[in-house]
Chains A and B, each alone.
Chain A
Amino acid sequence: MIHVDQLTKQYGPTLAVDRISFDVARGEIVGFLGPNGAGKTTTMRILTCYMPATSGTASIAGHDVFRDSLSVRRHVGYLPEGVPLYQEMRVEEYLRHRAWIKRVPAADRARRVEYVMERCDLKAMRRRLIGSLSKGYRQRVGLAEALVHDPPVLILDEPTIGLDPNQIRHVRALIRDLGNDHTILLSTHILPEVEMVCKRVIIINGGRVVFQESLDTIAAQRAGGTRLVVELRAPAANAVAVVKDVPGVLHVVADNAQPVVRLDVEVKPGADVREEVFQRAVRNGWTLRELRTEQPSLEDIFVRLTAKEEA
C-alpha cells in the first residue's frame, strides 16, 4: 500500500531524510520509530503530499505522491503532529466540513460523521467548540477527521503524545481496532506502544532506515536468547577462556571481579548453550551462581541503534 524508494529530503544544507526505502503492505500496522529529528515527520509529510521530496519516489495505493498528489490525498487519512484544528468550530461542524472537502458524497456525509464520532467516542462532545476541548478529545477529533473519508491508508504522527494513561489506552485500542480495515503507519516515542499495537517496526536515525523487522521475528529471536549472563565463583581469565570455547558462543565480556566473576556472553541466534556452560563449570569445580538468558527488548534495539551519535 505504501511504497517508498530512495526518498531524500534536503532542507538547504541539512539532509533530513537520506535515501529511505520501505514498504508497508495492505492491512499492516507499522510503527515508525526514531529519536527526535530523525526524519519521521518529514517522511510522513512527504507521504501525505505536504511537501515534495528532493529526490526518490513514494507512492500510496499505486499513486505517486508527486505526480498524482490529489489521488494520494484522497486515499490517505493524516493526523499531523500536534493535531492542528480550527479552534472556533464545533466538533460535528468541523467533521462535516472536512468530510465535504474530502469529497464524501453529500448523501453519506451525515452518516460518515456520525460513524467516526461513534468510533472515536465523540458523540457527547459534538456541540462543543474544539478550542474548549481537552487534549485527549482534540486528539480524537483529529483521528475522526483522518477517518472521515474512509481512507485505506492512515498516517498518524505521534497519535498518543500528551495524553494521560487512560486516554493512551483508549487511543491504542482504537488504532489496533482500525488496523482491521486500514493500513496504518504511525510514529511514536513510546516503545511499549509499538509492541502493543504494531505488527512491524521501522527505526530511522539520522534520516536513514537502521532497522526493519516484524515484531514476530523480534519475539522469536528473544525466545532463543541472544545474550547470556553467567555468574561464577572462578578466576576471571580461566572462566572467559572456558566459556568462549563453548560452541555457539560468539563473544564473552567479564567484569573481572574477585572472587565472583560475571560474564556477559553473546550467543549465536538460535543456539542454546546454557547446559553446556553449566557442565563445564561443574567440570572445573566452579560454583555457578547465576545463569540466565537476557532478552533484547525493543528498547535495547532502539537505544543500540540510535544512541551512538549522542554519546
Chain B
Amino acid sequence: MRNIPALTWREINATFFSPLAYVVLTLYLFFSGFFFYLILDASRQATMTGLMGILTFLFLVSIPLLTMRLMSEEYRSGTIESLMTAPITDAEVILGKYFGSMIFFIFMLLPTLLYVVILKRFGNPDLGPIFASYLGLLLMGAMFIALGLFCSTLTRNQIVAGVLGIVSLLIIWVLGAVGERMTGDFAPIVRYIGTQQHVQSFSSGRIAFRDAFYFLSFAAFWLFLSVRVLESKRWR
C-alpha cells in the first residue's frame, strides 16, 4: 500500500490537466450556484436541504464524467502495460486512482462552502443539518466514484464507461422509489439498495450508522470488483 501516494499524486495531476475536468467543474458550479439562488429566493429560509438534493443529482451526472477516464484511458493508450509491470499491486493501482478522484471530488465540494458562509452572513442557519449534509455528500461521493471507477475498468472506451456509470447511478438512485411501490419479500432489499433515502436522511440532519454503512460498504464492494476486473485482464 506504500505506492498509493505516488499513484494518487499522478492521478490528481492528470485530472487537473484534462480539459474535461474543468468543463465538468464549471457546469457543476454554475448549476449549483443557480439553484442556490433560486431556492433561497423562493423559500427565504437559511437552510441547505433543498440545495443538497440538487447537488446529489448533479453528482449523479458529473462523477461518471470524471471517473470514466481513469482506467479506460490507460487501456486505450497502452500505459496499462507499464503500470501493470511496475512493482505495484493491482489493488494499489485501483486505490491510487480512487483516492485521486476522491481528492478532486472534495475540491469540487469546497466552493459550495461559500453558500454556507453567505447563509451565515445574512441569516441564522442551523449548522447541524448542514454539517450532516456535507458528510452525506462525501459518503455518497465515495460510493459514486467507486462505481464510476468500476465502470471504467470494464472498457477501453471512455464514452461507454461514462454512459454506463451514469445509467447505473440513475438505476440505483430510483430503486428506492421502486421499492416503495413494491410488495413482497424483496421490497425492503430493493428499498435498501436505492440511494435516495440514505441521502435524504443525511440532509435532514440525521447521521445514522445504517446510512454511512450503506455508502461505505457499496464503495468497498465496487472497489473490490474493480481490482478483480483488473486482475482478470491479465488472464486474457
A residues with a Cβ closer than 8 A to B are 11, 45, 48-52, 70-71, 73-74, 76, 78, 80, 82, 84-89, 93, 97-98, 100-103, 145
Contact = CB atoms under 8 A, between A and B. Distances in A.
Contacts of A85: 79, 82
B77 A70 contact: no
Contact of A51 (B6, B82, B86, B234): B234
28 contacts: A49-B84, A49-B85, A50-B85, A50-B234, A51-B234, A51-B235, A70-B88, A73-B86, A73-B87, A74-B87, A80-B78, A84-B82, A85-B82, A86-B77, A87-B77, A88-B13, A88-B18, A89-B10, A97-B6, A97-B10, A100-B6, A100-B9, A101-B6, A101-B86, A101-B87, A101-B88, A103-B2, A103-B87
Nearest to B88: A101
Contacts of A48: 85
A89 B10 CA distance: 9
Contacts of B2: 103
Given A70-B89, A97-B9, A101-B3, A50 B84 contact: yes
Interface in B218-236: 234-236
B85 A73 contact: yes
Given A78-B82, A100-B9, 17 more contacts: A50-B84, A50-B85, A51-B234, A70-B88, A73-B86, A80-B78, A80-B85, A84-B77, A84-B78, A84-B79, A86-B14, A86-B77, A88-B13, A88-B14, A88-B18, A97-B9, A98-B82
Interface in B9-28: 9-10, 13-14, 17-18
Interface residues of B, number: 25
Contact of B7 (A70, A71, A101): A101
Contacts of A74: 87
Nearest to A84: B78
B41 interface: no
A49 B18 CA distance: 30
Interface string B160-194: 00000000000000000000000000000000000
B3 A84 contact: no
A90 to B, nearest CB: 10
Contacts of A51: 234-235
Interface string B54-93: 0000000000000000000000011111101111110000
Count chain A CB atoms within 10 A of each CB in B6, B14, B81, B88 and give the residue with the most.
B81
Contacts of A70: 87-89
Contact of A86 (B10, B81, B84, B89): B10
A103 B153 CA distance: 25
Contacts of B82: 78, 80, 84-85, 98, 145
A109 B113 CA distance: 39
A89 B79 CA distance: 13
Count chain B CB atoms within 10 A of each CB in A87, A93, A98, A101 and give the residue with the most.
A101
User: Which 3 pairs, one residue from A and one from B, show the smallest C-beta to C-beta distance?
Assistant: A84-B78, A73-B87, A100-B6
Contacts of B6: 97, 100-101
A69 B166 CA distance: 36
Nearest to A94: B10
B44 to A, nearest CB: 47
A98 B2 CA distance: 14
Nearest to A71: B87
A76 B84 CA distance: 13
A240 to B, nearest CB: 56
B7 to A, nearest CB: 7
Contacts of B9: 97, 100
Contacts of B88: 70, 101
A45 B236 CA distance: 12
A85 B14 CA distance: 13
A178 to B, nearest CB: 19
Contacts of A102: 86-87
B17 A88 contact: yes
A101 B18 CA distance: 22
A78 B85 contact: yes
Contacts of B17: 88
B234 A52 contact: yes
Nearest to B14: A88
A47 to B, nearest CB: 10
A89 B3 CA distance: 19
